[in-house]
Amino acid sequence: MQTRLSSDSQETGPQPRRRGESTLAVHAGEAHQKLADSITDPIICASTFTFPNTQAIIDYIEEKQPREEYGRYGNPGEKVVERKLAELEGGEEALLFASGMAAIVGLLMAKLNAGDEVVFFDECYHRSREFCSKHLSRYGVVTRQVKACDYDAMEAAVNDRTKLLVSESPTNPHLSIVDLERFAAIGKRRGVETLIDATLATPYNVRPLEYGVDYVLHSATKYLAGHNDLLAGVIIGSKEQMEPVRNLRGIMGAISSAHNIYLLERGIKTFGLRTQRQNANGQAIAEFLAKHPRIESVYYPGLESHPYHEVARRTMRGFGGLVTFLVKDADWRATANIVDAVTIPRIAPSLGGVESLIEQPLVMSYYECTPEERRQFGIPDNMIRYSCGIENADDLIADLEQALRA
Amino acid sequence: MKFRTRAIHVGNERDEQTGAVVPPIHMATTYVQHHAGEWREFDYARSGNPTRKNLEQTLASLESGTAALAFSSGMAATHCVTMLLESGDHIVAGSDIYGGTYRLLHKIVNRTGVSVSLTSTGDLDEFERAITPQTKLLWLESPGNPLMSITDLKACVEIAKRHGVLTAIDNTFATPVLTRPLELGIDIVMHSATKYLGGHSDALGGAIVVSERELYDRLYFIQNATGAVMGPFESFLMSRGLKTLELRVREQCRTAQRLAEFLESDSRIQRVLYPGLSSHPGHEVATGQMNGGYGAMLSFEVVGDFAKTKRVAESTKLFQLAVSLGAVESLIEQPAAMSHASYDAADRLSHGIRDELIRISVGLEAFEDLRDDLDQALNA
C-alpha cells in the first residue's frame, strides 16, 4: 500500500491543507505499512534486484511494472527519501546524489551542451562556480558571473545561448538574500531555467519552487541530514524537467549508498524541530554579536541592519543558523585567536548539524587565494563564520563572550 | 553546561586521530594488548566498547549520575537490577508498571526465590506497609504505564531510607528532560532507551544510571558476567538520538497537552488520563516533579465496549497501531489487547486497565494533524 499522506489523500475531496512540516518530515514519502510491518524503512543493501522470470524483465522494460533493476538506477529507500524531500519542498520529483556537488554537477551536465551559457550570482558556493569555469569550459560551456542580487546585471548577461540562471539564497558566507520572485521572473521572461541552492534556507524557511524557480538544490549533508554524519545532495523540480537528470545519474553513478539513505531519512524526521532551534540560535547569536564592542559588523538576515532584511522578512519564515561576522581592528591572527578560543563549536568546515561549528573563511576555504582574489570574493581577513547547532543559546553566547575576552 | 548542550557534547569528544566531529563506530570485538596480563582500557567488547562508553558518558551526564550502563534492551537493564537480589529477598513494586516488568518479576525473578508485592503508590502509607524486613528493593515508575499515575519520588525516597531499602525507577516515560530521579535521592534510574532516548523507533536498548560508585561496580559486574550489552550500531544511533532528545520531548509534551485538552472536552470520551490535566489525581505532584512538561504519553477511555475501542484504535491514519512509544511517529494501542496482555486478566482489571482504555504515544507530527486524526477515528 502506498502512503496515505501525499498525492493520494488528495483524491478524497477538496484540496486538503498542506500538512505541517513536522508531520511531513516524519511521514511524507513513506508507506503506511512497510516491509515486515516494521515502523521504519528497511536498509536494502542490494546491488541488484532479481526478476522471477523473463516475462517480468520484459514487463519492466515495457514500463508495465515499475520496480527496481540495478542499484545504480535506484533503491527503494532512496525513493522514499526522494518523495519525502519532494513533499517538503512542494515539488514533483526529487533526485538524491552522493553529495551536494554531485547533485549540481548532475544537473549541469544534464542540462548544458557545448556553446550553452550559464549565469551565476557571484556569491555562489565557489566550488560550484569553479566546476563551471574550470571544467564545463572544457566542454565549451560559457560561465558568466554577475554581482549577487543585481537583477539588471543578470538579465543583461542573458543571451539566446543562456540555458540556466543559478544562485544561492541565502548566499554563503555573506548571507545575501535573493528576491526569488524577481529572479524567477527573469528566467520566465527570457525562457531560461532557474536554479536556487537553498541549502542555507532549508524548506522550513523558504520553498523557492513556490516562487516559480525551476530547481531547488540542497547539500542534504547540512540541515536536512542535520547530524554531521553523512554526505548527500538533492535536486527537486518538475517530473518532466528532472527526467534527463535522472537518466544521467543512472549513467554517471554518483548515487547515495543504502546506509547513508537510512541515516538521511532518520535525520529528516527531526528536521523541522532542529531548524526552528537553529533559527532561534542564529538570531540570538547575531543580536549578541551586533552589540559587542569587539565586533565590526554582523551578516545575518534577521538583523534590521542587514541589507536584505526586508526581502528576507517577506520571504523567509526564519533566518537560518549561519552567522558571519567581522572582528573589529583584528588581523587574520587575532581573528584566528578567537576561533581557537571558543570551546563549544568545533573548528571545521560544513554547517547545519546539531553540533555548532566555527571557521575563518580566509583559512578554511580561501587560504590559497591571493589577497586580491579574496578582496574580489569579499573575504576579509577578520571574517568568522559561525554555524549554529541546536545547543542552548545561553551556552553558545557565554562561550563566545569568553572567547572575545581572550 | 545546560542539558541540551551536554546531550550534544558530553561523550562526543572530537576524535583526536582523524578530527571527525562524530566519534567513529567501533565494531571490534577484541582489543590488542601491549603486555600479557596488563589490561588497557578496553579488552573484550562485552566488558567495554568505546562507542558504548561514549553513550554511557552522555547518559550519566543527562541523568545527573556518575556512571551508566547500556544494555541490549530495557528488560535486560531491569533484569540486571533484579540480579542484585538474592533468594529470600522481597521487592515492592508500584502497581501501574510496564507489562514486561510485571512478567519479569512474577514469572522469572520469582523462580530465584525473590518475592514481589505490587502496591499502588497513590497511597504511600499502604505502600510503606507492604515493606517487610526482607524487602531489598522498591521498583517505581512515574508516570506509570498505562494509567499515567504519578508517584511522589521524594516521599518514596524517605520511606526507603527509613527501611534501608534500595530505590529504582523506570524513568522511560518522564525522560531526564522532565525528571532526574537521582537528584531526588533515588538510587537507580532505568530506561528503555528504545523509547525517547533513541527516539526514532529503530534501535532497541536499555540503560541504568546511578550516583554511587559502589553500586555501579556491582551492576557492572552483573552486566559483564551476564552479557546483555548494547551493540555498537545501536550505541551510535542512541547517541545520535540523544542530541535531539530535549527538542523532541518538549515538543511532544506540548502536543500531548493540547491533545489531552481536546479529548477531555469531547463527549465520545469517558475520561482522559494525563498528568498535565488538573483533573488528574497526580497533577500537583507532577507539577513539582516534572520540569516544564507532563510527558507525551496519554491514555483515555472511550465511551463504548471492547469492540468499539478496538475499532477506534484501528481507524487512525497518522497514529499507527503498534506497541512501543516515545518516537517521532505517533502510535496508538489498546493496553488490554496489546502492551498489558501479559498481565493475568484478573490482575489487569484490578489494576484499572479496562477494555475501553486506549494509550497513545504522541510523536512529532503537527498538533492539528494528530487532532484531526483522533477526531475521525472516534467516529469509527
Q: What would the pLDDT profile of B317-358 be if each residue is shown by its tens digit?
A: 999 999 899 999 999 999 988 888 877 788 888 888 999 999
Cβ contact (<8 Å) for A391 and B5?
yes
Longest dimension (CA), chain B: 73
Do A378 and A235 sit in the same domain of this protein?
A: no
**Which has the minimum average pLDDT: A199-203, A306-310, B77-81, B224-228?**
B224-228
Domain positions in chain B? 3-242, 246-377
A381: buried, middle or exposed (CB in 10 Å: 19+, 13-18, 0-12)?
buried
Q: How many domains does chain A contain in total?
A: 2
Do A283 and A209 sit in the same domain of this protein?
A: no
B246-377 CATH, one of 3.90.1150.10, 3.40.50.2300, 3.60.9.10, 3.40.50.720 = 3.90.1150.10
- Residue A117 confidence (pLDDT): 97
A280: buried, middle or exposed (CB in 10 Å: 19+, 13-18, 0-12)?
middle
| Mean pLDDT value of segment A109-128 | 90
Q: Alpha carbon of B284 to those of A121, A185, B219, B276, B339: distances in Å?
A: 59, 59, 34, 9, 27
Sign of the alpha-carbon dihedral angle for B176, B207, A263, B30: positive
The string of pLDDT tens digits covering residues A317-372 is 999 999 999 999 999 999 999 999 999 999 999 999 999 999 999 999 899 999 99
- Residue A261 confidence (pLDDT): 95
Rounded to whole angstroms, the Cα distance separating B114 from B135 reads 10
Q: Structural domain of residue A114, as residue ranges?
A: 7-268
Best of B6, B8, B201 to disrupt the A interface by mutation (most A CBs within 10 Å)?
B8
User: How close is the nearest chain A Cα to the Cα of B374, in Å?
Assistant: 15
- Chain centroid to CA A69: how far? 29
* pLDDT above 70 coverage of chain A, percent: 96
| Mean pLDDT value of segment A379-401 | 97
The answer to whether the CB of A187 falls within 8 A of the CB of A194 is yes
Do A203 and A164 sit in the same domain of this protein?
A: yes
Rounded to whole angstroms, the Cα distance separating B23 from B14 reads 7
Which residues on A lie below 8 Å from B371 (Cβ)? none
Rounded to whole angstroms, the Cα distance separating A4 from B317 reads 8
Q: Alpha carbon of B136 to those of B139, B189, B284: distances in Å?
A: 10, 16, 29
* Phi-psi map region of A115: left, alpha, beta (phi>0 left; psi -120 to 50 alpha): left
Cβ contact (<8 Å) for A21 and B366?
yes
Residue A2 lies in a domain: no
- Residue A15 confidence (pLDDT): 60
Neighbours of A78 (CB within 10 A): 24
Tell whether the model's pLDDT for residue A4 goes beyond 70: no
Sign of the alpha-carbon dihedral angle for A202, A207, A213, A215: positive
Neighbours of A72 (CB within 10 A): 15
Q: Which residues make Cβ contacts (< 8 Å) with residue B333, sequence separation at least 6?
A: B313, B321, B322, B323, B339, B358, B359, B360
Q: Alpha carbon of A314 to those of A228, A309, A317, B156, B235: distances in Å?
A: 30, 9, 8, 55, 43
B34: buried, middle or exposed (CB in 10 Å: 19+, 13-18, 0-12)?
exposed
Q: Where do we find the cell 504515544?
A: B361
Do A243 and A380 sit in the same domain of this protein?
A: no
Do A109 and A212 sit in the same domain of this protein?
A: yes
The answer to whether the CB of A196 falls within 8 A of the CB of A169 is yes
Neighbours of A257 (CB within 10 A): 18
User: How close is the nearest chain A Cα to the Cα of B323, in Å?
Assistant: 11
Higher-pLDDT residue of A225 and B24 is A225
The minimal CB distance from B8 to the residues A21, A269, A389 is found for A389
Look at residues A268, A298, A320 and tell me which one is the last residue of a structural domain: A268
Do A286 and A252 sit in the same domain of this protein?
A: no
Cβ contact (<8 Å) for A346 and B328?
no
- Residue A14 confidence (pLDDT): 56
Q: Which three cell numbers stand for residue A207?
A: 520553498
Do A189 and A331 sit in the same domain of this protein?
A: no
CATH number for the domain that contains residue A111: 3.40.640.10
User: How close is the nearest chain B Cα to the Cα of A366, in Å?
Assistant: 20
> B254 in contact with A at a CB cutoff of 8 Å?
no
Rounded to whole angstroms, the Cα distance separating A197 from A195 reads 7
| Mean pLDDT value of segment A61-65 | 90
- Residue A11 confidence (pLDDT): 42
Tell whether the model's pLDDT for residue A7 goes beyond 80: no
Cβ contact (<8 Å) for A348 and B21?
yes
Show the DSSP H helices in A269-316 as ranges. 271-290, 309-315
Residue A1 lies in a domain: no
Q: Which of A218, A403, A392, A393 is nearest to A294 (CA)?
A: A403
Q: What is the mean pLDDT of chain B?
A: 94
The string of pLDDT tens digits covering residues B254-282 is 999 999 999 999 999 999 999 999 999 99
Best of B3, B5, B10, B246 to disrupt the A interface by mutation (most A CBs within 10 Å)?
B5
Q: Please tell me whether the peptide bond between A170 and the residue prior to it is cis, using omega within 30 degrees of 0.
A: yes
Q: What is the mean pLDDT of chain A?
A: 93
Do A123 and A178 sit in the same domain of this protein?
A: yes
Look at residues A268, A303, A338 and tell me which one is the last residue of a structural domain: A268
Residue A42 lies in a domain: yes
| Mean pLDDT value of segment A388-392 | 97
- Kindly name the residue from A83, A111, A125, A214 that is annotated as catalytic: A125
Residue A399 among the catalytic residues: no
User: How close is the nearest chain B Cα to the Cα of A391, in Å?
Assistant: 4
- What is the set of active-site residues of B? 46, 98, 170, 195
Confidence band, pLDDT 50/70/90 cuts, at residue B62: very high
Confidence band, pLDDT 50/70/90 cuts, at residue B14: confident
Do A93 and A220 sit in the same domain of this protein?
A: yes
- Chain centroid to CA B156: how far? 18
- Residue A198 confidence (pLDDT): 98
Best of B3, B18, B21 to disrupt the A interface by mutation (most A CBs within 10 Å)?
B21
The answer to whether the CB of B273 falls within 8 A of the CB of B300 is yes
- Taking CA–CA distances from A24, the nearest residue in chain B reads B365
Cβ contact (<8 Å) for A274 and B244?
yes
CATH number for the domain that contains residue A292: 3.90.1150.10
> Residue A24: in which H helix or E strand, if any?
helix A21-27
Contact residues, B window 289-348, toward A, CB-based 8 Å cutoff = 317-318, 320, 322, 324, 327-329, 331
The string of pLDDT tens digits covering residues B200-211 is 999 999 999 999
The string of pLDDT tens digits covering residues B101-127 is 999 999 999 988 999 999 999 899 999
Beta bridge partners of A195: A166, A215
> B54 in contact with A at a CB cutoff of 8 Å?
no
How many residues are present in chain A?
406
Residue A93 lies in a domain: yes
Q: Alpha carbon of B162 to those of A123, A377, B155, B165, B189: distances in Å?
A: 70, 72, 11, 8, 20
> B46 in contact with A at a CB cutoff of 8 Å?
no
HEC letters along B184-195 = HCCCEEEEECCC
Q: Which residues make Cβ contacts (< 8 Å) with residue A289, sequence separation at least 6?
A: A295, A298, A323, A325, A400
Which residues on B lie below 8 Å from A357 (Cβ)? 21
Which residues on B lie below 8 Å from A204 (Cβ)? none
Do A218 and A303 sit in the same domain of this protein?
A: no
**Which has the minimum average pLDDT: A183-197, A216-230, B256-270, B338-352?**
B338-352
The string of pLDDT tens digits covering residues A242-297 is 999 999 999 888 999 899 999 999 999 999 999 999 999 999 999 999 999 999 99
DSSP letters spanning B275-313: TTSTTSTTHHHHHHHSSS---SEEEEEESS-HHHHHHHH
> B366 in contact with A at a CB cutoff of 8 Å?
yes
The string of pLDDT tens digits covering residues B128-162 is 999 999 999 999 999 998 999 999 999 999 999 99
Which residues on A lie below 8 Å from B244 (Cβ)? 270, 273-274, 354, 390
Q: Which letter does DSSP use for residue B83 in this model?
A: T
Cβ contact (<8 Å) for B366 and A19?
yes
Cβ contact (<8 Å) for B8 and A355?
yes
Look at residues A268, A288, A305 and tell me which one is the last residue of a structural domain: A268
The minimal CB distance from A20 to the residues B317, B329, B369 is found for B369
B3-242 CATH, one of 3.40.50.12280, 3.40.50.300, 3.40.640.10, 1.25.40.10 = 3.40.640.10
Residue A358 lies in a domain: yes
Longest dimension (CA), chain A: 75
| Mean pLDDT value of segment B286-291 | 97
Best of A21, A387, A395, A397 to disrupt the B interface by mutation (most B CBs within 10 Å)?
A395
Q: Provide the angle, in degrees to the nearest 10, between the axes of the packed helices B367-377 and B245-264.
A: 40
Beta bridge partners of B191: B207
The string of pLDDT tens digits covering residues A289-309 is 999 999 999 999 999 999 999
> B369 in contact with A at a CB cutoff of 8 Å?
yes
Q: Where do we find the cell 533559527?
A: A279
Which residues on A lie below 8 Å from B2 (Cβ)? 391-392, 394-395
Q: What are A's interface residues with B at a Cβ cutoff of 8 A?
A: 4, 19-23, 25-27, 32, 39-40, 227-229, 266, 269-270, 272-274, 277, 344, 346, 348, 353-355, 357, 389-392, 394-396
DSSP letters spanning A196-217: EE-TTTHHHH--GGGGT-SEEE
Do A163 and A251 sit in the same domain of this protein?
A: yes
User: Could you give the ipTM of this predicted complex?
Assistant: 0.78
Do A329 and A262 sit in the same domain of this protein?
A: no
Residue A197 among the catalytic residues: yes
Q: Is A347 helix (H, G, I), strand (E, B) or coil?
A: strand
Best of B62, B239, B240 to disrupt the A interface by mutation (most A CBs within 10 Å)?
B240
Q: Which of A363, A202, A322 is nearest to A272 (CA)?
A: A202
Q: Which of B331, B315, B16, B375 is nearest to B194 (CA)?
A: B331
Q: Which letter does DSSP use for residue A14 in this model?
A: S
Q: Which residues make Cβ contacts (< 8 Å) with residue A13, sequence separation at least 6?
A: none
- Residue B349 confidence (pLDDT): 85
Residue A222 among the catalytic residues: yes
> Residue B90: in which H helix or E strand, if any?
strand B90-94
